[in-house]
Structure 1
């Protein structure tokens, strides 16, 4: 059991059975592992402290090893709140659709209304997606909305079947890993979400003299904060209100928003993700 306040450890294999045994006044939070564990923890710590203050509840972060684990944990009521990509939200919603209390999306960043992915390359001969024909390409996680599903969907719409177009496809597992692979020459091209790309560039973690954006996808809905359907509605409403109250004019709030790559949070609804569901069905990723 993790101790207050937010005693987090990267890579900690926390027993879900132990988490389930926690008291009802503990909010158990998780996130899809779309970045390195240390980065996920760095981003969450001030947000977790803020939620503790706003909810008057202990907040504990539950790290997971892969995307599927977050979906399973939400469906089994082992976590209360999760940061999900659009596709993982669709999976969680479908997995709980036949229950009396399906998963509920609460808020998304304003940026998630019109999210994009960036296709990058460090090959000086590559200036467009077509220039990557016959070369190697890296997606993120198979379950990533912005690192796999939507870029693939848009490629297919343009008549590009990745398995035939590229000489080899690999999955890095995370957006920052994709950028690192491309920069190191492990892949001729790759795709990652625009938010992580901007953050890596701002932090100087990618050499833009070498790695360049060669294409940007059309827009789509992406990330959101989702709660399990069985969560107390009073707590659920307080969580949503806490996110919506984050004000960029408040320096402490802005620090939290900046770590979340958010200008502000806005309310969202399940209907916003119907396009993601359709794309997943078209890609044969939903049964």
Structure 2
């Protein structure tokens, strides 16, 4: 009897890793406050479960770099990355692929915003922001750091630390808006989608903070699938996942991103992001 119990226990221990491998996990860069992300991605997990026929779990992370690390370590097999974090992740895990992007992510933009006390306003040229305090979003954000820094350097000919009285990194776009509105920083760089959504929801006092410049368009967010999905979850799984993301039609789900739809993406789409990251020293 003891021998049978031991054998049964051994079988269970051998089966446990197999059972955990049937859970498909994904994460997302923390570009907004945690409650908004949890609400959005728990709904995405439920949708993917119905489409993929496996248990799906959303794994929150505290930073952009933590999202990349989770992907590298196979703690997640899919991630909603920004342009730069996606490039970083795919470089660390060869064979990984960008498989879908929001329709709007083909033509993404950054805004520069300023506190009303600066007197800065939107005009035809690049704003005269030298000498002010300035905050980016996350250090690894495409729309909150990479592209704004590139254009600041291109137009003003200096590195941020040589241009501004003080340079900060708020951590996410929601915090950037809040800090500039409160006057903690005079100028900041934000994702245009987060700004427009916050304004539409009445979360921004536009008498205190306003957009003073918008960038040219560039490719940004995308779903990146880790290499080896078919080996872990069965033949055709990556194609099934891609199809599920491209056919995400629920207006409530799409509005939470917010995106009008998802369209195909490829690694090649993000070569411009990689080129800019190398140009300003964020990638070697």
Q: Same fold (TM over 0.5)?
A: yes
Matches within 5 A, 1:1-287: 23-97=20-94, 102-124=95-117, 125-127=119-121, 130-161=127-158, 162-232=160-230, 234-247=236-249, 253-287=250-284
5+ residue gaps, structure 1, are 1-19, 248-252
Q: What SS does the aligned partner of 1:131 have?
A: coil
Q: In 1, Cα distance between the equivalents of 2:93 and 2:198?
A: 35
Q: How far apart are residue 104 of structure 1 and its match? A: 1.0
Q: What SS does the aligned partner of 2:224 have?
A: strand
CA contact (8 A) 1:81 1:227 kept: yes
| Higher alpha-carbon Rg | 2
CA contact (8 A) 2:87 2:274 kept: yes
**1:173-198 Cα shifts (integer Å, max 9, x gaps):** 00000000001110001011011001
Find the counterpart in structure 1 of residue 10 from structure 2: none
Q: What SS does the aligned partner of 1:23 have?
A: helix
Q: Bigger CA drift: 27-36 or 172-181?
A: 27-36
CA contact (8 A) 1:75 1:103 kept: no
Q: What SS does the aligned partner of 2:207 have?
A: coil
RMSD over aligned CA atoms reads: 1.5
Query: If each structure's helix is expressed as a fraction of its own residues, which one has the higher value?
Result: 2
Q: In 2, Cα distance between the equivalents of 1:117 and 1:22?
A: 43
Q: In 2, Cα distance between the equivalents of 1:119 and 1:104?
A: 31
Find the counterpart in structure 1 of residue 9 from structure 2: none
Q: In 1, Cα distance between the equivalents of 2:251 and 2:75?
A: 30
Aligned residues: 259
CA contact (8 A) 1:147 1:175 kept: yes
CA contact (8 A) 1:77 1:230 kept: no
Q: In 2, Cα distance between the equivalents of 1:21 and 1:31?
A: 25
Q: What SS does the aligned partner of 2:24 have?
A: strand
Q: How far apart are residue 134 of structure 1 and its match? A: 0.7
Q: What SS does the aligned partner of 1:278 have?
A: helix
Q: Bigger CA drift: 82-91 or 58-67?
A: 58-67
Q: In 2, Cα distance between the equivalents of 1:202 and 1:130?
A: 25
CA contact (8 A) 2:107 2:219 kept: yes
**1:100-151 Cα shifts (integer Å, max 9, x gaps):** xx22111000000000011101234112553322110010011000000011
**1:239-272 Cα shifts (integer Å, max 9, x gaps):** 110111123xxxxx01111111110000100001
Q: In 2, Cα distance between the equivalents of 1:76 and 1:21?
A: 18
